[in-house]
């Protein structure tokens, strides 16, 4: 499983989003959720990608699904030594019978990662805003997005497709050239 390009794309998206939000007097932080049924193919390149992206307003949560050997994935979670920790790995099978345990394990590091990012960059919370009920505008309902899962030909790749062109999907080489 190759995730370095997805991590780098998400980090660029997160940095751009925070810069835009900052220009508007707002704040923005991004969370990338990766669901995988296989371990990373190149641990060194993935650790290097995490190190390179560790200063982005980004948390990465990786959920390992299935029976693969996820020991390399746990290493990614524990790899941040002198860089900020932006990665959390959760093995689904350890929590599949307890929804609360899965939720806790998945989101456990996120609040600390978010606060640490803003503190490292000297970004204080925006002051609370007062909004009157009549100022709340509810826009038209968004179009429903169809997320279909294609488990490919059994080689472990999951393709998530949907409408609207939102999100990031980098197809593996066997799906064509890009």
pLDDT of residue 134: 86
- Cα–Cα distance between 7 and 42 in angstroms, integer? 13
pLDDT of residue 38: 85
Has residue 171 got a pLDDT over 60?
A: no
Has residue 178 got a pLDDT over 70?
A: no
- Mind listing the pLDDT tens digit for each residue in 38-83? 888 888 898 899 999 999 999 999 999 998 888 878 777 776 568 8
Q: What's the pTM value of the predicted model, to 2 decimals? A: 0.71
- Cα–Cα distance between 113 and 39 in angstroms, integer? 23
- Cα–Cα distance between 162 and 4 in angstroms, integer? 22
Nearest 5°: CA angle at 176, between 8 and 5? Answer: 5
- Cα–Cα distance between 30 and 114 in angstroms, integer? 9
- Average pLDDT value for the chain: 82
Mean pLDDT of the region 117-123: 94
- Cα–Cα distance between 153 and 50 in angstroms, integer? 30
Contacts of 16 (CB under 8 A, 6+ apart): none
Please report, rounded to a whole number, the percentage of residues in the chain having pLDDT higher than 90: 48
Mean pLDDT of the region 133-162: 64
The DSSP bridge pattern shows strands 87-91 and 58-64 to be parallel
pLDDT of residue 98: 93
Mean pLDDT of the region 78-97: 86
């Amino acid at each position: 499983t190759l995730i370095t390009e997805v991590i780098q794309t998400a980090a660029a998206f997160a940095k751009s989003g925070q810069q835009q939000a900052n220009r508007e007097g707002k704040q923005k932080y991004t969370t990338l959720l990766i669901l995988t049924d296989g371990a990373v193919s190149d641990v060194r390149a993935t650790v290097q990608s995490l190190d390179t992206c560790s200063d982005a307003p980004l948390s990465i949560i990786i959920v390992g699904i299935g029976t693969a050997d996820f020991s390399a994935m746990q290493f990614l979670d524990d790899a941040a030594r002198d860089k900020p920790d932006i990665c959390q790995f959760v093995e689904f099978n350890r929590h599949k019978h307890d929804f609360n345990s899965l939720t806790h394990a998945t989101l456990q590091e996120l609040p600390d990662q978010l606060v640490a990012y803003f503190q490292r960059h000297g970004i204080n919370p925006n002051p609370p805003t007062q909004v009157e009920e009549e100022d709340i505008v509810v826009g038209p309902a968004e179009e429903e997005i169809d997320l279909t899962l294609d488990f490919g030909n059994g080689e472990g790749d999951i393709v998530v497709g949907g409408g609207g062109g939102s999100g990031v999907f980098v197809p593996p080489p066997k799906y064509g050239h890009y």
